[in-house]
Amino acid sequence: MLSFWEENTFNHVDIAIVGAGITGLSTAISIKERAPHLKVLILERGIMPTGASTRNAGFACFGSLSEILDDIENFGKEKAHQLVQWRWQGLQLLKKRLGTKKTDYRNWGGFELIRESETHFLDRLPEINDMMEDIFETKIFSEKKGLIKKFGFRNIETVVQNTLEGQVDTGKMMYEMMLLAQKLGVMIWTNCLISKWRNDGDEIRVGLQDDYRGGFSLHAKKLVLCTNAFTENLLPKADLLPGRGIVMITKPIEGLKIKGSFHLDRGYFYFRNFGKRLIVGGGRNLDKEGETTTDFGLNQKIMDDLQYKLKNIILPGRKVEIEQNWSGIMAFGHDKMPLIKTIADHVYVAVRMGGMGVAIGSLVGKRVGEMVLDEAPEMTEKT
């Protein structure tokens, strides 16, 4: 049971946001930046964010050459261009808000490793450079075969460089984002698994449960679901499937020459340095069915492949020890665009960030904030 004080003050908010990942935090920050007087509450099921945002590999990226070509093939040129633009704009907003120092944002560039069977991608490099020039005001991709020797790769035909890509310390980025939200006056309640909400016309009621008070329902004027891969219970018909991503980090490697963010195989496989260590991840395409899960487990087949690539392509002939493996859960749909919608009066959803949320999450949060505050139109490829 709630006390009179709890009911009067804590249990009534202007905006309730479910999910304390990048999207939920960015939405809350965007709202408070524009409307500091509003009472904004984030409800998070875990002790800390428990989805993708604290469990990714920290690439500040916006698409490798082969990933963009894949997107054009699957979704058309307009959407492929829009996604790159949103990712780029999202990264600028992220940097502006959090700065580069505290998040360890490093602009060391991005590199795509092209194998012999993939050299046909290079035929379309000039076309993609032209297509993206309005975003970057430069020809973004260039072939740099000499980098194979510099980095010591094997079984690679050439390398495509992108000088604008960066990387962050994911932990620090999320920590700083939470601090910023709290500094702006956002309340964050953790250990709150939300399983139901209902629209009562002039307010939204959100079901909460606690060991000391039992069940009660929060009153919110507006509700935003930023629950990404875990949205099914709250919105059963959403076009969304979970996709697990596996990451491993090595122990420090003496004399490591690799510095920057690296991609292979249309963005499905990636690695980067973290100080003297390497972070290696991806491989979801090797077992798409098995990886369509919300379970934070590991997949031996994929981990074996990551280790194989480490030994045969990235650090040939070097003995490398893995310090830790983990996984995070992303959300995908039939379309690669994020799903940002008004789903009922005063209820919004911003989910399906795919493998792009570090980049796109801040912009999505800003856009949802506009929808919440101004009833602005949804974020589609036309807006």
Tell me how many helices (H) and strands (E) the chain has.
Answer: 9, 18
Contact call for residue 18 and ligand FAD (CB under 6 A): yes
Give Cα 378 distance to the centre of its chain. Answer: 20
Question: Which of the ranges 38-46, 117-125, 197-205, 252-260 carries the binding residues for ligand FAD, by CB under 6 A?
Answer: 38-46
Task: Give, as ranges, the residues between 179 and 218 that touch ligand FAD (CB under 6 A).
Answer: 192-194
Binding mask 156-185 for ligand FAD (x = CB under 6 A): ------------------------------
Q: How far is the CB of 354 from ligand FAD (least distance, A)?
A: 6
By CB under 6 A, how many residues form the interface with ligand FAD?
A: 42
| C-alpha distances out from residue 271 to 200, 249, 278, 285, Å | 48, 9, 7, 16
Q: Is position 355 an interface residue for ligand FAD (rule: CB under 6 A)?
A: yes
135 binds ligand FAD (CB under 6 A): no
Residue 353 binds ligand FAD (CB under 6 A): yes
**Taking a C-beta distance cutoff of 8 angstroms, is the pair 60, 105 a contact?**
yes
DSSP assignment of 207-260 equals EEEETTTEEEEEEEEEEEE--GGG-TTTSTT-S-EEEEEEEEEEPP-TT----S
Instruction: Out of 15, 24, 86, 110, name the contact with ligand FAD by CB under 6 A.
Output: 24
Between 245 and 274, how does the x/- string for binding to ligand FAD read (CB under 6 A)? x-x---------------------------
Instruction: Compute the distance between CA of residue 109 and CA of residue 114 in angstroms, rounded to an integer.
Output: 16
Residue 341 found at the interface with ligand FAD (CB under 6 A): no
265: left (phi over 0), alpha (psi -120 to 50) or beta: left
Report the alpha-carbon distance of residue 353 to residue 90 in Å, rounded. 12
Q: Which is nearer to ligand FAD, 40 or 120 (CB)?
A: 40
Strands 214-225 and 40-43: unpaired
Q: Where do we find the tokens 């090595």?
A: 250
**Considering only residues 52, 113, 128, 160, which one is a binding residue for ligand FAD as defined by CB under 6 A?**
52
Residues at the interface with ligand FAD (CB under 6 A):
18-24, 43-46, 49-53, 55-57, 59, 61, 192-194, 226-230, 234, 245, 247, 281, 328, 330, 353, 355-359, 361
